[in-house]
Amino acid sequence: MTAALRNEVLTPSVEDYLKAIYHLSRAGHPATTSDIAQHLDLSAPSVSGMVKRLADQGLLEHVPYKGVELTPEGRRAALRMLRRHRIIETYLVDRLGYTWDSVHHEAERLEHAVSDALIDRMAAALGNPGFDPHGDPIPGPDGSMAEVIYTPLSDLPAGESAVVRRADTSDAERLRYLAEIGLVPGAGIQVVARHPFSGPVTVRVEGAERVVGHALAGQVLCQRQRGADPRA
Amino acid sequence: MTAALRNEVLTPSVEDYLKAIYHLSRAGHPATTSDIAQHLDLSAPSVSGMVKRLADQGLLEHVPYKGVELTPEGRRAALRMLRRHRIIETYLVDRLGYTWDSVHHEAERLEHAVSDALIDRMAAALGNPGFDPHGDPIPGPDGSMAEVIYTPLSDLPAGESAVVRRADTSDAERLRYLAEIGLVPGAGIQVVARHPFSGPVTVRVEGAERVVGHALAGQVLCQRQRGADPRA
DNA sequence: TCCTAAAATTAGGCTTATCTAATATACCGG
DNA sequence: CCGGTATATTAGATAAGCCTAATTTTAGGA
C-alpha cells in the first residue's frame, strides 16, 4: 500500500528531503547521501536514517551505497512543494513588496504551512503565472511544468543579463575550467561584448570580466532575464 | 535568565499552549490542566508535562493542583500569536476572498510559519487595521490592544446582530440559566424585538427565539456586528 | 591484486511531544 | 472529620528527527 493510499501527511522534514532530492536528481544520476546531507545541512547518518523511512513509505528507491531516486509518488510530492514555493515567492514579490532576492527564506517557511486551497487562491490572484520572479517555471496543480528554453551564452546579445543553468558537456576539463571562472549553474552573468565572426564573448561574472571562446560559450546554457522573457 | 533573554524560539506546540492559556485566562481565574487539555484536544498528562517545561522557561507560573497563569513574558508571546492570527485572518478575507467563517483553520496553520516582517507587511497593506473580520481587536506589534466596547443586550436596537462576549454577573443561577438558553460567550444572536418601558428583549439564539427580562439582558454584554462597528 | 581513503551505514543516545496506566491530591457531602 | 469522586501528577513507553562514534562498503592507485 502506498503512502498516498494510506492518506499520510508529509512532515516538513520529509518535504524538505523530497525537495532536495528532486533538485539533486535534475542532473540525471541518483542523489547521494552526502549530496543530500550537504544540501540540507545535516549529518550523513541523519540522511541515511531518513532515506530508509522514505523508501519504506514508497517515496523513493534506495540502492544502498549507491544513491536514491524519487518514485513517481515522491516526484509528485516534490513538484507540489516546488509549486508552493514558487507561487509564494511570486505572490510576496508581486503583492507584498518583497525583492526577488529576499523572498526565499520566507517562502521556505510558508511552503510547509499553506493549504492547497490558499496556494490556488494566490495563483488565481496572480493570474496563474507560469514563471516565478527568478524566471523559473511554476508547476501546475497536476505537476506539469513549462519547459524553459535555455539560450547558449554564445547567442546572448551584448548587454543582456542571464543566469547560467547548465553546462552542456561532460568533459571534466571543461567543467573544471568553467567552475574556475565562475560559470556554474545559478551564477548571474552579464554579457559585456560579443566579438564578430564566431569570436569570443566577454562576460561579467561575480564582478570579474571573463573572455570565453565561441565553442565553449555555446555549451554554457543560460536562462535570459526579464526583457527577453521565456514566457513569451 | 528568562527565555526571551536566552533568545529562544518557541515551537508551534508551545505557541498553541500559550494561546490556549491566554484565552482561558480571560475569565480571570487561572487556567486548569483539564481546561487546557480539552481546548487543545490533548490528554491531561501531556498538559501537565508541558506546563512544567513552560514554567521552567519562565513563560507561566504553575501552582501544582491549582492552575497556571502566564507571566508577562508568556502573555507577550500569546499576544504576538493573537496579532498574527488576526492579521492573517483579516488579510485572507480582505485580499484573497476567504469568508470570515472559513478562515480560521488556515490562519491556525500559518500563524506558526510567518515571519514578523511578513505580518508587518500584511498589516501595512491592510492599512494597519485595529479589528479583524470577526470584530475582535488586533494587538499592535508592542502587544497593545484596542479596548472593545461591549453593549448590553438591553441596549441593542431591534434587528441588530451581535456576538455575546461576557456575562456581567457571578451569580451561578443566572449563569446557568443563560447557558441553558444559549446566551454564552461566542454565541451569535439577533435582536428580534425590544419591548418598551424597560420590558424584555426577544432575541434569536441558535435558531430559537428567547425572551429575556430587562435586568438580565443588561448583564449580557455583546459585541455589535458590522454596521455598528466598534472601530468607529 | 591489494590497500587505503572516501562515502555510507549501523549503533547508540538525546530532545520534544505525545500517549496510557498508576498514583497522589483536593474538595464536598454527610 | 472522613471518605469518595474528580482532578492532577508521576511513571514509563513510543515516534520523529537529529547527533557522534564506530563500522562497513566502495573504488581508485600502486
Q: Over the stretch A79-121, which tens digit does the pLDDT of each residue have?
A: 999 999 999 999 999 999 998 778 999 999 999 999 999 999 9
In this prediction, residue B9 carries a pLDDT of 86
Tell me how far apart the alpha carbons of residues B30 and B66 are, in angstroms, rounded to a whole number: 8
- Among chain B residues, CA nearest to A115: B106
The answer, yes or no, to whether residue B5 has pLDDT greater than 60, is no
Q: Cα-flanking dihedrals φ and ψ of residue A113, to 5°? A: -110, -30
Instruction: Assign A230 a pLDDT band (cuts: 50, 70, 90).
Output: very low
* Between A61 and B230, residue with greater pLDDT: A61
Instruction: Give the position of cell 504551512.
Output: A113
Q: What angle do CA A15, A16, A21 make, to 5 degrees?
A: 100
Helix (H, G, I), strand (E, B) or coil at A175: helix
Residues of A in contact with B125 (CB under 8 A): 95-96
Tell me how far apart the alpha carbons of residues B161 and A131 are, in angstroms, rounded to a whole number: 46
Residues of B in contact with A89 (CB under 8 A): none
Instruction: Give the position of cell 451569580.
Output: B171
How big is chain A by its Cα radius of gyration, in Å?
20
In this prediction, residue A1 carries a pLDDT of 46
Q: Which nucleotide is nearest to B66 (CA to C1')?
A: D8
Q: Which of A97, A112, A118 is opposite residue B106, by nearest beta carbon? A: A118
Pairs of residues, one from chain A and one from chain B, whose beta carbons lie less than 8 Å apart: 41
Region of B68 (left: φ > 0; alpha: ψ -120 to 50; beta: rest) is beta
Task: Check B95 against A96: CB less than 8 A apart.
Answer: no
**Which of A87, A110, A119, A120 to mutate to probe the B interface, most B CBs <10 Å?**
A110
**Which of B13, B15, B106 to mutate to probe the A interface, most A CBs <10 Å?**
B106
B56 CB contact with strand C at below 7 Å: no
- Crossing angle of the two packed helices A33-40 and A12-25, in degrees rounded to 10: 120
C-alpha dist (Å) from residue A197 to A4, A201, A213, B61: 57, 11, 12, 80
Exposed (0-12), middle (13-18) or buried (19+): which is A138, by Cβ within 10 Å? Answer: buried
Instruction: Assign A135 a pLDDT band (cuts: 50, 70, 90).
Output: low
Q: Which nucleotide is nearest to B45 (CA to C1')?
A: D9
Tell me how far apart the alpha carbons of residues B114 and A160 are, in angstroms, rounded to a whole number: 36
Rounded mean pLDDT, B160-168: 84
C-alpha dist (Å) from residue B78 to B19, B63, B139: 5, 20, 10
The answer, yes or no, to whether residue A60 has pLDDT greater than 80, is yes
Which of A:110-149 have CB within 8 Å of B?
110, 112-115, 117-118, 121-122, 125
Instruction: Give the position of cell 522557561.
Output: B57
Instruction: Give the position of cell 467563517.
Output: B101
Instruction: Assign A7 a pLDDT band (cuts: 50, 70, 90).
Output: low
Instruction: Assign B170 a pLDDT band (cuts: 50, 70, 90).
Output: low
Cβ(A178)–Cβ(A114) below 8 Å: no
Report residue A192 CA to chain centroid gap.
26
Which residue, counting CA atoms, is nearest to the C1' of nucleotide C11? A45
- Crossing angle of the two packed helices B33-40 and B44-56, in degrees rounded to 10: 110
In this prediction, residue A98 carries a pLDDT of 93
In this prediction, residue A146 carries a pLDDT of 82
Tell me how far apart the alpha carbons of residues B8 and A223 are, in angstroms, rounded to a whole number: 41
- Among chain A residues, CA nearest to B126: A96
The answer, yes or no, to whether residue A225 has pLDDT greater than 90, is no
In this prediction, residue B183 carries a pLDDT of 87
Q: How far is B92 from chain A (nearest CA, A)?
A: 9
Instruction: Assign B64 a pLDDT band (cuts: 50, 70, 90).
Output: very high
How big is chain B by its Cα radius of gyration, in Å?
19
The answer, yes or no, to whether residue A49 has pLDDT greater than 90, is yes
In this prediction, residue B229 carries a pLDDT of 45
Which residue, counting CA atoms, is nearest to the C1' of nucleotide D10? B45
CA A75 → C1' C15, Å? Answer: 31
pTM comes to: 0.78
In this prediction, residue A182 carries a pLDDT of 87
Task: Check B97 against A122: CB less than 8 A apart.
Answer: no
CA B99 → C1' C16, Å? Answer: 36
Task: Check A106 against B117: CB less than 8 A apart.
Answer: yes
Instruction: For chain B, give the number of residues.
Output: 232
H-run or E-run covering A215: helix A214-217
A34 CB contact with strand C at below 7 Å: yes
Q: Which nucleotide is nearest to A68 (CA to C1')?
A: C8
Task: Check B106 against A92: CB less than 8 A apart.
Answer: no
Mark B121-155 as b/e (b = at least 16 C-beta within 10 Å). Answer: bbbeeeeebebbbbbbbbbeeeeebeebebbebbb
CA B46 → C1' C19, Å? Answer: 8
Q: Which amino acid is it at A232? A: A
Query: Which residues 81-100 in chain A have a CB closer than 7 A to strand C?
Result: none
Rounded mean pLDDT, A11-34: 93
Instruction: Assign A122 a pLDDT band (cuts: 50, 70, 90).
Output: very high
In this prediction, residue A62 carries a pLDDT of 96
In this prediction, residue A102 carries a pLDDT of 85
In this prediction, residue B126 carries a pLDDT of 97
Tell me how far apart the alpha carbons of residues B57 and A97 are, in angstroms, rounded to a whole number: 37
Task: Check B118 against A106: CB less than 8 A apart.
Answer: yes
B72-81 residue pLDDT tens: 999 999 999 9
Query: Residues A67-71: contacts with CB within 8 Å, 24+ apart?
Result: A67/A29, A67/A30, A67/A31, A67/A32, A67/A33, A68/A21, A68/A30, A68/A31, A68/A33, A68/A36, A69/A21, A69/A25, A69/A30, A69/A31, A70/A18, A70/A21, A70/A22, A70/A25
